[in-house]
Amino acid sequence: MTGPEPFGARLRRAMDERGPLCVGIDPHASLLAEWGLSDDVTGLERFSRTVVEAVADRVAVLKPQSAFFERFGSRGVAVLETTVREAREAGALVVMDAKRGDIGSTMAAYAESFLHRDAPLFSDALTVSPYLGYGSLSPAVALARETGTGLFVLALTSNPEGGEVQHAIRADGRTVGATVLGHLAVENAGEEPLGSFGAVVGATLGDLSSYDLDMGGPILAPGIGAQGATAADLPAVFGGAVRNVVPNVSRGVLRHGPDAVALRDAAERFAEEVRAAVASV
Ligand SMILES: O=C(O)c1cc(=O)[nH]c(=O)n1[C@@H]1O[C@H](COP(=O)(O)O)[C@@H](O)[C@H]1O
């Protein structure tokens, strides 16, 4: 096979070697204050560097939340560029959480911003919204295939408001969320050991046995910690698909800063709980 190694294969290896935990880099103003940092670019830079130095050499995935960097304009985006680069250099895969979604021709530009090899914000994967129609994402799918990167498509989100759209029943009797999962199954068909086109499915959602989560790609599962889910919930929520789950914890880890050792210990506790939960299935 020619071309770069696909994201799904790289992610599977990282999950096997490091465990599947994803730590979110979400520099909320309230966390900057708790860490004794100023709510400005200097505080943002210190916060992000501390998280990267504490955990990027041990967790499979880091997920910077773009909004908390964009808040500071171009200088915040420059910090985001450095964060992505340093996290990748330390061996973590970076999922850029920017939740992009637009009509196809504009979607192509969003994809180039994060998934083109020469982009300053080049990341291993990007979160995207399919709610302008799944097909609107096709330029991002095409570029991801070319550059060996991936997408995480919002399917069943962790927030309580998501249901009015995602659980809505279409004319064919399927829910909108199930339809998104179906598109991803087609995208990932035949990809071994794991497809590159993942779904975002909240860990907060309870029993999802009415959904076919086995769509051949990874499942990014936010909601553990601050939103109330625990690692122990994962088997009940995801069933057999739990082996493809990348659980995300942001504030649940970040609130242990600014001490790097405390951050690392918190991430390792979550990683251990996740390992035990996955092994129980
Ligand atoms: O795509 C996401 O990452 C995401 C999807 C979703 O359904 N719910 C959700 O919480 N997220 C993100 O996951 C992170 C959760 O943060 P904590 O609640 O602090 O662990 C935030 O960056 C959210 O934007």
pLDDT in tens, 179-191: 999 999 999 999 9
- What is the pLDDT averaged over residues 199-218? 96
Count of domains for the chain: 1
Active-site residue, 99 included: yes
Token pair 């082996």: residue = 243
Residue 1 lies in a domain: no
Distance of alpha carbon 216 from alpha carbon 24, whole angstroms: 24
Q: How far is CA 165 from CA 46, 135, 154, 185, in A?
A: 38, 17, 11, 20
Distance of alpha carbon 37 from alpha carbon 241, whole angstroms: 40
Ligand 1: residue of 61, 248, 255, 263 to mutate (most ligand atoms within 8 A of CB) is 248
Look at ligand 1, atom 9, and give the residue with the nearest C-alpha: 222
Say which residues have a Cβ less than 8 Å from residue 86's Cβ, sequence separation at least 6: 49, 52, 56
Distance 223 CA to ligand 1 centre (A): 6
Residues of 48-74 as b/e, b for ≥16 C-beta within 10 angstroms? bebbbebbbebbbbbbbbbebbeebee
Look at ligand 1, atom 16, and give the residue with the nearest C-alpha: 250
- What is the pLDDT averaged over residues 99-105? 97
The boundaries of the domain holding residue 35 are 7-279
User: In percent, how much of the chain has pLDDT > 90?
Assistant: 99
Token pair 């789950």: residue = 245
Query: CA 193 from chain center: how many Å?
Result: 19
Look at ligand 1, atom 8, and give the residue with the nearest C-alpha: 158
Provide the 10 A C-beta neighbour count for residue 248. Answer: 29
Q: What is the sign of the dihedral through the CA atoms of 183, 217, 92 and 264?
A: positive
Distance 171 CA to ligand 1 centre (A): 30
Say which residues have a Cβ less than 8 Å from residue 1's Cβ, sequence separation at least 6: none
CATH code of the domain covering residue 43:
3.20.20.70
Whether the complex's predicted ipTM surpasses the cut of 0.95: yes
Look at ligand 1, atom 24, and give the residue with the nearest C-alpha: 65
12-31 confidence digits (pLDDT tens): 999 999 999 999 999 999 99
pLDDT score of 2: 75
Residue 122 lies in a domain: yes
Distance of alpha carbon 139 from alpha carbon 131, whole angstroms: 15
Active-site residue identified among 71, 88, 99, 275 = 99
- Are 25 and 251 in contact by the 8 Å Cβ rule? The answer is no
Look at ligand 1, atom 4, and give the residue with the nearest C-alpha: 222
Question: What residue type is assigned to position 212 of the chain?
Answer: D
Q: What does the DSSP 8-state code read for residue 196?
A: S
Residue 274 lies in a domain: yes
Distance 118 CA to ligand 1 centre (A): 27
Residue 2 lies in a domain: no
34-87 confidence digits (pLDDT tens): 999 999 999 999 999 999 999 999 999 999 999 999 999 999 999 999 999 999
Ligand 1: residue of 249, 250, 254, 274 to mutate (most ligand atoms within 8 A of CB) is 250
pLDDT score of 1: 54
Strand positions, DSSP E, 101-176: 125-128, 150-156
Residue 269 lies in a domain: yes
Residue 143 lies in a domain: yes
Q: Which residues, judged by CB distance below 6 Å to any ligand atom, belong to the binding site of ligand 1?
A: 24, 26, 65, 97, 127, 157-159, 200, 202, 222, 225-227, 248-252
